[in-house]
Amino acid sequence: MGENKHHEKESFFSSWAVDNRTTVYVLTFIIVIIGIFAYMSMPRESFPEVVENKIYISSVYPGNSAEDVEKLITKELEDKFKNVSGVDKVTSNSFQDYCLITVEFSEDVPLAEAKQRIKDKVDEAKGDQDWPTVDSGSKVEPNVFDLNISEEIPILNINLKGNYPKFTLRQYADDIKDDLEDIPEVKDAVVLGVDDNEVEVALDIYKMNAAGVSFDEVINAIKNENITISGGNLITEGNRENVRIKGQISEPSELNNFLIKPGVKIMDLAKVEFKEKEKTTYARESGKDVVMINLRKRSGTNMIAAIEQAKEKIKKAQETYIPKDIDISLTSDQSTDVEHQVNELANHILIGILLVMCVLSFSMGLKNALFVGTAIPLSMLIAFAVLNAFGVTLNTMVLFAMVMGLGMLVDDGIVVVDNVYANMEKGYKRREASKFGIGEIAFPVITSTLTTVCAFLPMLMWPGIMGKFMRYFPITISVTLLASLFVALIINASMTAGGMTLDNKNVTVSQAKKYTIIFAILAVVFGALRLITGVEYFLAVVTLSVLAIAAIWLYKNFFHDRIEHFQYTFFPNLAKRYQKFLRGLLQGKKPRNAFLGVVGVLIFSFFLYGVMMGIGRSKVLFFPENIPKQVIVYMEYPQGTDIAKTNTATKQVEAKILNVLRQYNDKKTGENFLVESMVTQVGKGAINPQVDAGSEADTPFKSKITITFVEFAKRHGVDTGDVMEEIRKAIPNIPGFTFTVEKDANGPPVGYPVSIELKGDDYDELLGEAHKMIEYINKQGISGIEKLQSDINKESPELIIDINRETAGNMGVSTAYTGITLRRALFGQDISTFKDVKDDYDISVRLQQDQRRNTSILFNQPITLQGPNGPVLVPMSTFSTMKEENTFNKIKRKDNTRTIMVYSNVLKGYNANEIVQKIQTSLKSYKTPEGITYSFGGEQEEQGKNMNFLLFALFLAMALVTSIIVFQFNSISKTLIIMTTIFLSFAGVFLGLSIFGMDFVILMTMMGIISLAGVVVKNGIVLMDFFVLKLDELVAKKGVETHDDLELEEVKEIIIESGKERLRPVLLTATTAILGLIPLAVGLNFDVFAFLTTLNPHFSVGGDNVMFWGPLAWTIIFGLSFATFLTLIIVPVMFYIISKRKIKARRKFVAKHAHDAEKDAEEQERLKKLYPEEFEEYHKKKDFGAEPETEA
């Protein structure tokens, strides 16, 4: 071994780990404990919480149309926001009585600072003299807030139904609501389906006129009587007594006896009733009325914990104060989805670990496989600890990153363990083999891991909401890969130094019997505990014990010999064949032909995929097509429609949908095997987040039906996408009642697939142009469009009262007083409070219902004036006129310009990109009037932005990877070889997509290609480093200057021998990476925990995760499979081609200089003979450093 001493390199940290194994083992134990604790405590959710860098400003301005709100509130605020630094975009929606402005800031502005900047500008606007006021005379108060989407979406619906009045159900719902809001993780609980109660004083206008009583007199009578006042303290005979005048009513009926004026009581003019407020909400479950509680969680808290506590609270309520005949059902339980997705990905990880361990066991032996396999759980536990410390939740993005990194986590360990094993075969002892084996490859292992991490890092720069959503992927995989590097260089170093052996001994019969008895005792003990306690975990121990016994005997009698054969016969034979193949390939023109052939395959793959797209076998998609877990039907009438009419129409739609869903009832049980729940909301809670995000406006004209399906494995093979189309076709055509049918979003909101924004100043002209455009596109006969519609209409009815100022002024009537009188009559006025034991209820005064819905009565109601002989009643119609008009339902603005959106969903089976392209082509011949422009937004706008970023990220990843490789090898040619394999690996991606007819999903496939750049480069670096290491040894042995001074045949032999030596780690790292992704790519679902506790694995193939992550997984599988071939074939070929050229160039360089030197020597000898004295003098001066004299 003395001849190899100069190559016995060590890595400081690895050598430290070898010398301090006990410390490393304790550190490993601590890592396990902390990692498990972090995993258990991390909040679970389906997708990451996304907080957009947006500030919302809402403002209520009662009694005003959308146009008035725009003019007086929206535009004034928008003008203030123009010059706020950091603002990217300002959008607004002005409704009747209400407006909502959204200010989007750039990513570098902290949300809190952005909010303060907007608040300052709002305060500045409120300080203006012309800022509007409300009826009370106070200024309109805009509300500035930020919005966390995760806090707005209900995580659970609790539905109460029974043979009780709605008010009684509401009281029980309020009690449950109070209990639920005590849960720390819960933000709030909102009761729907029934409105608050109130005490209504419904006045009869005719009786008021007859009695000469005005609204003010009724209001003052109630205000002045329904009051409790402290009179102070009375001191008598040393006692201090509190004097209290008690006037508040204890029952609503007491109001009847309040005197308005002598001889006139409230009961003479009005009907007093304790009743539900005017309807703003309906809720139903499967068509039956319910009182519903929407539960929402706080940001950053554990959804599953919140729902589990909520269920406990509900169970306790049912046991204590909820009557037995009130049925409580739970729907839209988000925790089941989250648990299912998290468990599914966790099972993918476990299956991946088993597959990886099987491959490693056959390739490296069981003990060495265990050394390598420890990298997977330890790396993940380290990642969990780090992520939890930074407040990251456990979501599908995090888990998928771990699934994707699963195969790569063992890469470093494979290289480390394989090289330590190789050093032991050379005769080194365990400790020396660990130190020198890791020392040899530590630097390439570190750089190869860093190149992989660098390939993912550019994704952290992803802008916008999509970036906030997707960035957890690069963060998690980077942390996990760096953790695997730590495990490989520290923990694996310690383990190999302590336990690696060259032999692969089988289990003896006595050992097998001993372990069998131990596990059998465990099985019996825990089986008995399971029978006594019923705890499922005990059965898991029993199952594991039985599996362990089976594994011991299978290993002894079957697997050991197969592993031996694979290690010592199959793999060496494979290596010899590869060596022979490589030697034949590196002959003559074969290397050049091989390289050109691979380039030809790359070009052909692009061409083939283009053909597949041309014939419609493959499509380009923005986001993966998901199988619906929910189908949501959004419906609406024109604004101004009464909620009762909306509810009637919604019931018709409900009936049709129920008919569609009944065909999925189980024939034996009658239960629906497909649908988990169907929930209807009318009015409150019925907004569409795609159109109305952040809006708090009343929506009596809107409704929503949400159908939630059971999890994928329980659907009996039914495609819920087909069910969605059946629902769409079944919805009846109700005049004026528009609808859209959508499925649950797979990721952050990006808008509709077809979305056209028209901009202009004249809204009437703009709306007309929108309708013309819809009509024009519909005539083109483009298939796949669900229904083009505009988000703006001018169908909101409005009753305009014009005051004759001169007539009214002469009478002493102001416009404000007229408006207040009309509002009191119609809308009512809350004037006091009725308090019972639990709650406070408003006392509201208004006209009785039949009169306030009568235009003639309202318009002719008397106004009280002060005449010379006392109050005089004058009909409103004497100084005003009335006319009916239609107005806009809302007015949208984007960056201070009015806009209208024409939008549609795309039907199942159609490609949104192709449809949009057809629309764009058809609109080339469509001319818009001057002053009106249009552009495509929504999903198309997001698609363009994200595609541009992903291309930028790909090039940046390439640049970072290139920099690291140049830094390691200090060679352009070696870097070029490795980088070329990345580009050539794209051939594998497009060949795979073409052969299997898969879609190019812009987000996922591009992320896969970027990821591929980091994955592919690892084996190339390790193989290249091995080439360099062996060449360095030969250069040192021969005493030459560079690799280029070696003979070509010597370089060829080193390439062949190095390839043979690195064959196993290259194949293993690629195979493990691919196998780690296979469960996710095919949707292989095997519930490990269920199998251990119930012996039922719930085996299935497919599912929601495979639809979302499959395109990314397949991209890496296809690319990596082809890249493995490139690493083993093209890297040696390219290295040989370049080495051949460099050696040839070196030979020419040396020959030229040798020739020049030879010619120079001959000339010197000739001059010496011709001019001996001058020659000697010349060289003397030159030797002493003097400049020889020359003749001019």
pLDDT of residue 618: 82
1161 is a domain residue: no
- Judgement on whether residues 467 and 362 belong to the same structural domain of the protein: yes
Q: Is 856 exposed, middle or buried (0-12, 13-18, 19+ CB in 10 A)?
A: exposed
The fraction of the chain above a pLDDT of 70, given in percent, is 94
Calculated CA dihedral for residues 77, 80, 86, 92, nearest 10 degrees: 20
So what's the pLDDT on residue 3?
Answer: 43
Question: Do 722 and 801 belong to one domain?
Answer: no
For residue 305, what pLDDT is reported?
Answer: 87
Q: Is residue 281 part of a domain?
A: no
Query: Are residues 360 and 416 in contact, defined by beta-carbon separation less than 8 angstroms?
Result: no
- Alpha-helix residue ranges (DSSP H) falling in 426-508: 430-456, 464-470, 472-486, 492-499
Per-residue pLDDT for 354 more than 70?
yes
The residue behind tokens 């059902």 is: 329
Confidence bin at 1017 (pLDDT 50/70/90): confident
Q: Is residue 933 part of a domain?
A: no
Check residues 780 and 887 and name the one with the higher pLDDT: 780
Q: Same structural domain for residues 535 and 607?
A: no
* pLDDT value of position 1152: 65
pLDDT of residue 314: 94
Residues 431 and 490 in one domain: yes
- Rounded mean pLDDT of 562-566? 84
**What does DSSP assign to residue 133?**
B
Q: What is the pLDDT of residue 476?
A: 92
Q: Report the DSSP beta bridge partners of residue 1184.
A: none
Point out the domain boundary residue: 838, 869, 887: 887
Say whether pLDDT at 1186 is over 80: no
DSSP 730-789: HS---TT-EEEEEE--SSS----SEEEEEE-S-HHHHHHHHHHHHHHHHHTT-TTB---E
CATH, residue 68: 3.30.70.1430
Q: What is the SS3 assignment for 146?
A: strand
Predicted TM-score of the model (pTM): 0.77
For the chain, the straight-line distance linking the first and the last C-alpha, in angstroms and rounded, comes to 65
Which of 68, 26, 1013 lies closest to 452 in space, CA to CA? Answer: 1013
Question: How many independent structural domains does the chain possess?
Answer: 5
* 39 token code pair: 């995993």
Task: Say yes or no to pLDDT of 946 above 90.
Answer: no
User: Which of 13-27, 189-203, 1082-1096 is least confident?
Assistant: 1082-1096
Q: How far apart are CA 1007 and CA 986, in angstroms?
A: 13
489 closest CA partner among 536, 532, 528, 435: 435
* Element holding 1174 (H helix, E strand): helix 1172-1183
In 3D space, the residue among 79, 134, 132 whose CA is nearest the CA of residue 103 turns out to be: 79
C-alpha 404/C-alpha 1077 separation (Å) is 6
Angstrom CA distances, 210 to 694, 824, 855, 876, stand at 48, 19, 20, 17
Q: Tell me the average pLDDT of the chain.
A: 85
**What pLDDT does 689 receive?**
66
Q: Spell 878-906 as b/e; 16+ CB within 10 A means b.
A: ebbeeeeeebbbbbbbbeeebbbbbbbbb
Q: Among 26-35, 402-411, 424-433, which stretch is predicted with the lowest mean pLDDT? A: 402-411
**Could you tell me if 534 and 471 lie in one domain?**
no
The CA distances from residue 528 to 344, 521, 537, in Å, are 30, 11, 12
Regarding whether 1074 and 958 lie in a shared domain, the answer is: yes
User: In terms of C-beta density within 10 A (0-12 exposed, 13-18 middle, 19 or more buried), how is residue 611 classed?
Assistant: exposed
Question: Based on the domain organization, do 399 and 444 belong to the same domain?
Answer: yes
Complete edge-to-edge strand list for the sheet that includes strand 675-683: 288-289, 281-285, 675-683, 702-709, 630-636, 738-743
More confident residue, 9 or 96: 96
> With pLDDT > 90 as the criterion, what percentage of the chain qualifies?
27
| 177 found inside a domain | no
Measure Cα distances from 855 to 480, 696, 860, 884 in Å.
Answer: 70, 29, 8, 11
Residues 483, 375 share a domain:
yes
Give the pLDDT mean for 631-659. Answer: 91
pLDDT at 6: 41
The whole-number pLDDT of residue 1168 equals: 65
Instruction: Report the C-alpha gap between 771 and 758 in whole angstroms.
Output: 11
Same domain (yes/no): 490, 525 = no
Mean pLDDT within 510-530: 89
Same domain, 709 and 605: no
Would 156 be classed as within a structural domain? Answer: no
CATH code for the domain of 1056: 1.20.1640.10
DSSP secondary structure, 793-833, as one string: -S-EEEEEEEE-HHHHHHHT--HHHHHHHHHHHHT-EEEEE
Grade residue 1182 by pLDDT with cuts at 50, 70 and 90: low
Token pair recorded at residue 204: 């009869």
| pLDDT tens digits for range 533-552 | 877 778 888 888 898 899 88
Among 233-237, 523-527, 809-813, top mean pLDDT goes to 523-527
Q: Tell me the pLDDT band of 343, cut-offs 50, 70 and 90.
A: confident
Q: What is the CATH number of the domain that holds 219?
A: 3.30.2090.10
Task: Show the CA angle centred on residue 191, arms to residues 188 and 196, nearest 5°.
Answer: 120
Does 750 have pLDDT greater than 80? Answer: no
Confidence of residue 337 (pLDDT cuts 50, 70, 90): confident
Q: Place 203 in a pLDDT band, splitting at 50, 70 and 90.
A: very high
Angle at which helix 938-969 crosses helix 430-456, to 10 degrees, equals 140
Confidence at residue 466, expressed as pLDDT on a 0 to 100 scale: 80
Alpha-carbon span 352 to 400, nearest angstrom: 12
**DSSP, res 44:** B
Residue 926 placed within a domain: no
Separation CA 114–CA 54 (nearest Å): 8
**The three-state (H, E, C) secondary structure of 217-270, written as one string:** HHHHHHHHHCCEEEEEEEEECCEEEEEEEECCCCCHHHHHHCEEECCEEHHHHE
**Model confidence pLDDT, tens digit, residues 413-459:** 888 888 888 888 888 888 888 888 888 888 888 888 888 898 888 98
User: Which of these three, 114, 149, 184, is where a domain ends?
Assistant: 149
Q: How far is CA 1169 from the centre of its chain?
A: 89
Give dist(CA 977, CA 625) in Å, integer: 37
CA-based nearest residue to 470, from 480, 460, 481, 482: 460
Rounded average pLDDT over 249-265: 91
- Determine the length of the chain: 1192
Residue 375 maps to a domain? yes
User: Looking at the domain assignment, is residue 163 inside a domain?
Assistant: no
**Residue 1144 scores a pLDDT above 50:** yes
Q: Span 1018-1041, mean pLDDT?
A: 84
When pLDDT is cut at 50, 70 and 90, the band that residue 696 belongs to is: low
Instruction: Give 893's pLDDT tier (boundaries 50, 70, 90).
Output: very high
Q: Estimate the crossing angle of helix 472-486 against helix 430-456, to 10 degrees.
A: 170
For 837, other C-beta atoms within 10 Å of its C-beta total 4
Q: Residue 1191: pLDDT above 50?
A: no
448 with 588, same domain: the answer is yes
Pairing outcome for strands 270-276 and 281-285: unpaired
What sign does the CA torsion over 390, 396, 401, 402 have?
positive
Q: Could you tell me if 973 and 1027 are in contact, meaning their C-beta atoms sit under 8 angstroms apart?
A: no
Strands 840-847 and 197-203 turn out to be parallel
pLDDT, one tens digit per residue, over 1053-1072 is: 999 988 888 888 888 888 88
What pLDDT does residue 353 have?
78
* Residues 353 and 449 grouped into a single domain: yes
Looking at per-residue confidence, does 1093 or 4 come out higher? 1093
Taking the C-alpha atoms of residue 1044 and residue 469, their distance in angstroms, rounded to an integer, is 50
Q: Which domain holds residue 733?
A: 627-745
pLDDT of 1170 higher than 80: no
Contacts of 266 (CB under 8 A, 6+ apart): 201, 218, 221, 222, 255, 256, 257, 258, 260, 272
Q: What pLDDT, in 10s, does the model give residues 501-511?
A: 777 777 788 88
Q: Residue 746: pLDDT band by 50, 70, 90 thresholds?
A: low
